[in-house]
Amino acid sequence: MSTSKTEFLVAPSILSADFSRLAEEIAAITEAGADWVHVDVMDGHFVPNLTIGAPVVKSLKPVSKLPLDCHLMIEHPEKYVEDFAKAGASTITIHVEATSDPGGLLNRIRELGCKPGITLKPGTDAKTIFPFLPLVDLVLVMTVNPGFSGQSFMEEQAAKISLVREELKRIGHTALIEVDGGITAETAKLVREA
């Protein structure tokens, strides 16, 4: 979704998909009107769960007409961004908590030909990412604790969406705001109003 409150994109996560039928699942979300495919990448260290890596993203590229939005919930993402870029990621989003040099890594993602994104855990102050906003095309606001699918939307995170939107407006930046976790028809209304 954008900072204008009028434009919204839908980026379903494949985390809940049937991994034995990923091509069919992507075709179904494409047909349903999705704008992007959200790919949750977890390493079992930064978050407790373990999911997929760059080889799976590479296998998705030929079967997806949609941009692949890779959310790296991993330690030391600087070691892996090149792999995800080569695999076909359109957007690579990193956690501010996962690297000692977020600015340098965001610049590297752009050099690799991908759109850089930044995110933070629900317990991290929104202002932590403000210095990096000029470097990104996307800000992902987590409305669940990262690492597991099927969690309920954390309503208190709506204030963080508003803070990010206000800061983007203040600096005159048009980065997209993506909201991740617990999105339903009901919670989408809260997100729109934030």
Tell me what pLDDT residue 182 has: 58
Tell me the residue ranges of DSSP E strands in the chain: 37-42, 68-73, 91-95, 115-120, 138-142, 176-180
Tell me what pLDDT residue 5 has: 42
**Cα→Cα distances 156→4, 122, 131, 177, Å:** 21, 9, 23, 17
Radius of gyration over alpha carbons of the chain, in Å?
15
In order of start, what are the domains of the chain with their CATH numbers? 22-193 (3.20.20.70)
Q: Give the percent of the chain with pLDDT over 70.
A: 90
**8 A C-beta contact, residue 24 and residue 14:** no
pLDDT category at 102 given cuts 50, 70, 90 is very high
pLDDT category at 7 given cuts 50, 70, 90 is low
- How far apart CA 22 and CA 101 sit, in angstroms, is 34
Q: Lowest mean pLDDT: which of 30-44, 115-129, 133-147?
A: 133-147
Nearest to 57 by CA among 89, 97, 98: 89
Handedness of CA 116, 182, 8, 35 (dihedral sign): positive
Tell me what pLDDT residue 24 has: 96
Distance in angstroms between the alpha carbons of the first and the last residue of the chain: 12
Tell me what pLDDT residue 134 has: 98
Please give the backbone phi and psi of residue 125, each rounded to the nearest 5 degrees, phi first.
-60, 135
Q: Lowest mean pLDDT: which of 4-13, 40-49, 107-116?
A: 4-13
- How far apart CA 80 and CA 56 sit, in angstroms, is 14
If one counts every other C-beta atom within 10 angstroms of the C-beta of residue 3, the result is 18
Two tokens at 189? Answer: 């209304």
Contacts of 37 by beta carbon, 8 Å cutoff, 6+ apart: 11, 12, 14, 26, 29, 60, 64, 66, 67, 68, 69
pLDDT of residue 2 exceeding 70, the answer is no
**Catalytic site positions:** 40, 180
The better pLDDT of the pair 152, 122 is held by: 122
Tell me what pLDDT residue 156 has: 80
pLDDT tens for each residue of 142-192: 877 776 666 777 678 788 888 999 999 999 999 998 887 656 677 777 777
The better pLDDT of the pair 17, 3 is held by: 17
Instruction: State mean pLDDT over 56-73.
Output: 96
